[in-house]
Every structure is written in structure tokens, then in C-alpha cells.
Amino acid sequence: MNDATREVFGNIAPWMQVVFFGIMALSIGWPVWQVWTRARLWRKGQRDGFERSWRVRIQRLIIYALAQKRVHRKSLGALLHLLLFSGFVVLTIGTTLLAIAHDGPYDFHHGWYYLIYELTMDVFGVAFIIGCLLAMYRRAFHRKPSLGHNKSDWWLLGLLLSLGVTGFAVEALRMHYTHVQPWLAHWSTVGWLIDTTLLRGLDIGTARTLHLAAWWLHAILVAAFFATIPVSRFLHVITGPANIAGRPERPMGALIPLTIEEVERTGRTGVNTIFNFTRQQLLSLDACMECGRCEDACPATASNKPLSPKAVVIDLRGLMSRGGGDVHTAIRDETLWACTMCQACVEECPVLIGHVDLISDMRRDLIGEGKLSGPPTKALQQISNQSNPYGRPNSERLVWAEGLDVLTVDVNPGFEYLLWVGCAASFDPRAQKVARATAQLFKEAKVNFAVLGAKESCTGDPARRIGDEFLYQQLAQANVETLTRHKAKKIVTPCPHCYNTLKNEYPQFGGQYEVQHHSQLLAQLIGAGRLSNGTSTGEPVTLHDPCYLARVNREVDATRTVIGAATDAQFREMPRHGKKTFCCGAGGGRMWFDESPAQRVSCLRAQEALATGARTLATACPFCLNMMTDGMAGTQGGEKTKVLDIAELLLSRQNAK
Ligand code: SF4
Ligand code: SF4
């Protein structure tokens, strides 16, 4: 068994081996030089100052690069990528091991190792070829519009396919002229099959000549592949893992703060030229493989707005390749304003590109240049003047609680939970009912809670998402001071945007709290038996998961627990639910923008909800509540569908008993 092995370079004359190594050195040196040149462009970007731990980098590489977590899904694209990727990785490792065994001090390429090696290389070689064929099939017959494509892709796929085919040809011809014994040949299954069928009867001399020709062709194709990496889509095999490993560690919902020192140093409030982005962001532009997953998930693209997250990345990359320039010449202002900051693109991207950070940085510059007009400007002015985007006096913040005997922090300073009501539930007549339902449920469960009343201000979320970073910071600092003064430790809020800001962004300003969304506390109270279950068998219910709860903060169970307790009516999931939820259209400050009826994201979502056959649409966000109410009203068949917050649904169980 120990004799089991094979020749390496057996049919290749010594001078040919020298030529081969020369070609390989050039073909590897060229892409290294090209990537180095590209890296010099990335290094023109700004340092971001984030710490990166090696443990997290390695974890990320294992999860996203090696295990391809984001690529997994039931689709042809996912299958072919898995086959291509696994084949590529195993064949590369195998070839490297062969080189080490052949040229290193210890030849381990024999015995059981050799047999398993041969079988493994054949299996993954076949996977690689099938992956190539499926990729060609998809491009020819099933190419989705969002998938990047140009004619050179056919050459690239042809190159990969030829690499796989010539690899097997070399194996079969070598087996033929070396007369490999059958028991040994079976381990090189594909080579053996070709040898015993297609090469049957071929004389040894011809087999040697053909082997030499196939070997050289294979070697030249390998060299061509290396040379193509830096100037083609293949570049992502380097930049993808580099971006995955290097992306800053911070919660998905936390935008990067901008400091006054930075503004004074650079003279700008955001990004206006390509090299104002950070080095990591510039590298991320080169990691895009144009798969189109971000575009498929984008509500702005789906509702015909002038935004595709993929195009943003590609256009910025083009600007970097041209040596730099004003980002606003590459990305239109309308494109930037169209984003709802729902993070669906970020969630989908296999190489962890941060589209929202790119867009937010450019929005900050537009705000700095005074390029925003219309209703969102008014909302910002009202936040600045009245501490809420509705332009109402803060003294009216407790109107929603009339008759409920809700205590303020001054009356009940020993509160356990601070109920952060949020501007929408404080001032918007429809959302006020959510605040009332939440407070009634807390009272029923005997929760010791209090509200800030007139001392509550906007968290600053809309200002930050629109791009007015300093208005946001002003509000954040004032709110942190108020919360500290009243010794708030546990905060609960019915608004996922307030929840996200208080939980993920206030720590940037020294505010550390135990923050819960009302769905989480209600689910906890139900679990503890402090709120009873409903007994009604009503009409089917579906749930619209708010982006900033389900996707951004990974909370998908609490809302379902509350619905389960509120009603035993049939619960029907929409196709896009949980972390894959689809935006209602209100995020990113879009709540304050004018929108033509034909471009309403909420109508698309309403159609999805109606398709489940549910007659009640539950949600857990005052903004989603408003958007989905409008969406249902503007969608045929939606007029009779009830849109309720989960707190309202849970409270209504009492009436149904
Ligand atoms: S955050 Fe949402 S709206 Fe903005 S680009 Fe990404 S998917 Fe589109
Ligand atoms: S940004 Fe990410 S998801 Fe979008 S096309 Fe590029 S690689 Fe794909």
C-alpha cells in the first residue's frame, strides 16, 4: 500500500520544467503587483480608528468566507457558487500540497494519503466542472436582471471550465501511458473512466505526446487564470475575504459618529470625494462581485426609485478606478435620498459590504452643503426647535395618556422601567393608541413604570439617518443627561427606531442602558403569567416585522409570542419575514419625504400581506403602523384589512373574551 503514488513531471523534460516555473512566477507576480497597485488606492482613504480583534476576524472568515453563510439559499445561483467555490478551494489546496510534497524535504505523497488525495481531487474537480456548466446555463437562460454581466464573463467561465477539463485530460493520459494498476487507478475515478473508455486502444507514444500537449495547455490556462484575477470579477477571491475579515466590529444599527475635530481637520461634514471614505470602505468597493443580491432585496429598487445598492458600489468603484473625484458626480442626490436605511442590502451581501454607511456618509455631505429641501428639511427644523419632527410643543407629550393615570419620573422616581414613548406614539393620533395600549398592558401586569413626559425629546434617529449628524449628537447628549439625572437603567419603548438608537448608538455618548422593545417585555410578562392569553378564534393574522427590530436587532420571536397570546386565530407568515423582512418605506427619514403613490413601498408590502389571506396585519412599530395603514388603503382589497400594533392586538383580546 505504501507504494501507492504517481509520478510528477514524469513526461516533462527538465528544461520545460524551468520554463514552466518561469511562467508561473510571472503569472503570480503580475497579479500580486496589480493588487498592490490597487491597495495603494485603498490606502489613500481615511483611517477609521476601529479596533479589530483577530478572534472576530477568524470567526468571520470561517462563517462568511469558508462556510459561505450568506450564499446559502435554495437557488441555482447558490448551488453553482457552492460547487465552484468548494472545487476551487480544494483543487488549490491539493495542488499546493502536491508542490510541497514534490519540492519539499519530505515526500508524503504516497500510501493511503495518496489514494484519498486522488479521490478527493477527482470529486471536487467534477464539482468544479458542474459548477461552471451551471453558471453558463444560468447566464444563458436564467439570468436575473440584477446579476452583473458582460461578454468577458463568458471568457472567464470558459477559462474555468477548460481548467477543469484539461486537468482531467492530463490525469487520464498520464494513467494511460504509465499503465496504472486497476486497484490504484480506481481511486483516480474520473481519469480511470476516461482512460478505459475514450483512450482505449491509444498507443503509448501518442498518449505521451497528447499528455505533453494537454499538460502545457493546462499550465498556460492556470497562468492565464492567475493573470486574470486582478482585472476581472475573480478579484473578489482576494478582496472578499479581506473585507470580511477587516470590517469594523459594531452593531448593524449603529452609524459611525462624526466628530467636531474631524470636521475641523478635514473641513467637511461627510464624504464628498472618493478618498474621504475610509480605507476599509474603499477596499469593500473592490470586493463586490456584482451578484445583485443587495439589489434584489432593496425596497427602493423594487418601488422604482432611482437607487440600486449594487450600482452605488459599482459607480463608486468606477470613480476610484479613475483616480478619484467628487462622489456626487457618480451618485445622484435623488439616489442617496431614496434609501430607507433598512439594511436589507447589508444583510444580503455575501462579502459584508456596508452600503448604508456609504450612503449615510454621502448624505452627511449633502446636509452640510444645504442640499436638502422640502418636507424633510421642515422635519429637521422641527426636531431642532421643538425636539420632535411633528412640530408640536413638548408640553403635549402626555396627551396620549389622558385618563390612564400614567406617572412621570418626577411623581414615581423609584420606577423600574422607563417607558420611552417616542415622538410618533406621543404626537401621531394613530400611534398614540399604541402608547395607550402599551401603558394599559403594563398596568394590568403591575409593571412599575414611569414616563419622562415633557422631558422626553426625539432620540435623534431621523436626524442621524437623514444626515444631520450634529443635530443628532446634540439630542443624544441631552437625552443621555436626562436619563442619567433620573437614574434610568431599564428602558422599554414601542418604537424600534428609538430602541435601536438607545441600545446601539447611545453607548457612543456614554448612555448604557438595558433597553427592551415593548414586544420583548410583553413576551416576558406573558411568559411569567402576568398577562393572560386571548381565547378568540378570529380571522387569520399576519405580521410585518419592522426592519429595525427583526433585521437590525435580530428580535423575531417576541412579536410572535405576543400575537400567539393575543389570539388563537391562524397565524400566516409572509414570504419575506423575520430577518428577511421587507421595509415599509418609512426608515432613513423617508417618513418625511413626499412620495408618489406609484412608488410606495408600503403598497408592495400590503400586496404581500394580502396574499397570505390574513384579515389582520400586525406590526410592532408606530412608523410601520402608519405606512402599512396607508399601504392597505392604497391597495385594492386592502381597505378591509385591520392594521394593528401587537400591543393593541393583545389588549383587544380582553374584549374578545
Ligand atoms: S438600506 Fe434598504 S433602501 Fe437603502 S440601499 Fe439598502 S436595501 Fe436599499
Ligand atoms: S454589494 Fe454585495 S450583494 Fe451587492 S452585488 Fe456586490 S457583492 Fe453582491
- For residue range 148-180, list pLDDT tens digits in order: 888 899 999 999 999 999 999 999 999 999 998
Tell me the three state secondary structure of residue 408. Answer: strand
Q: What does the pLDDT read at residue 536?
A: 65
Q: What does the pLDDT read at residue 86?
A: 95
Between the CA of 308 and the centroid of ligand 2 the distance, in Å, is 10
Read off the pLDDT band of 596 (50, 70, 90).
confident
Class of 381-527 in CATH:
alpha beta
Between the CA of 292 and the centroid of ligand 2 the distance, in Å, is 6
- Atom 1, ligand 1: which residue's CA is nearest? 341
- Choose the weakest-confidence range: 27-41, 247-261, 544-558: 247-261
State yes or no: pLDDT of 53 exceeds 70.
Answer: yes
Q: What does the pLDDT read at residue 609?
A: 97
Nearest to 559 by CA among 511, 608, 516, 620: 620
Tens digits of residue pLDDT in 75-120 = 888 899 999 999 999 999 999 999 999 988 888 999 999 999 999 9
Number of the ligand 1 atom closest to the C-alpha atom of 341:
1
428 in Cβ contact with 645 (< 8 Å): no
State yes or no: pLDDT of 73 exceeds 80.
Answer: no
Between the CA of 279 and the centroid of ligand 2 the distance, in Å, is 18
CA distance 224 to 239: 19
Q: Is 421 exposed, middle or buried (0-12, 13-18, 19+ CB in 10 A)?
A: buried
Q: Quick one: average pLDDT of 273-293?
A: 96
Give domain 251-368's CATH superfamily: Alpha-helical ferredoxin (1.10.1060.10)
Q: Quick one: average pLDDT of 193-218?
A: 96
Read off the pLDDT band of 13 (50, 70, 90).
very high
- Atom 7, ligand 2: which residue's CA is nearest? 288
Read off the pLDDT band of 655 (50, 70, 90).
low
Return the higher-pLDDT residue of 268 and 345: 345
Q: What percentage of the chain exceeds 90 in pLDDT?
A: 85
Which protein residues touch ligand 2 with a CB less than 6 Å away?
288-294, 309-310, 313, 348-351, 353
Pocket test for ligand 1, best of 255, 332, 341 (most atoms within 8 A of CB): 341
408 in Cβ contact with 480 (< 8 Å): no
Q: What is the mean pLDDT of the chain?
A: 94
Number of the ligand 1 atom closest to the C-alpha atom of 338:
3
Number of the ligand 2 atom closest to the C-alpha atom of 290:
5
Cβ atoms within 10 Å, residue 406: 23
For the whole model, what pTM was predicted? Answer: 0.92
Cβ atoms within 10 Å, residue 107: 12
**Which secondary structure element, helix H or strand E, spans residue 618, and what is its range?**
strand 616-619
Return the domain boundaries, the chain: 14-243, 251-368, 381-527, 541-656
Q: Is 634 exposed, middle or buried (0-12, 13-18, 19+ CB in 10 A)?
A: middle
> What are the residues whose beta carbons fall under 8 Å from the beta carbon of 155, sequence distance 6 or more?
none
Give domain 14-243's CATH superfamily: Transmembrane di-heme cytochromes, Chain C (1.20.950.20)
Q: What are the b/e assignments for 424-437, b being 16+ CB within 10 Å?
A: bbbbbeebbbbbbb
473 in Cβ contact with 510 (< 8 Å): no
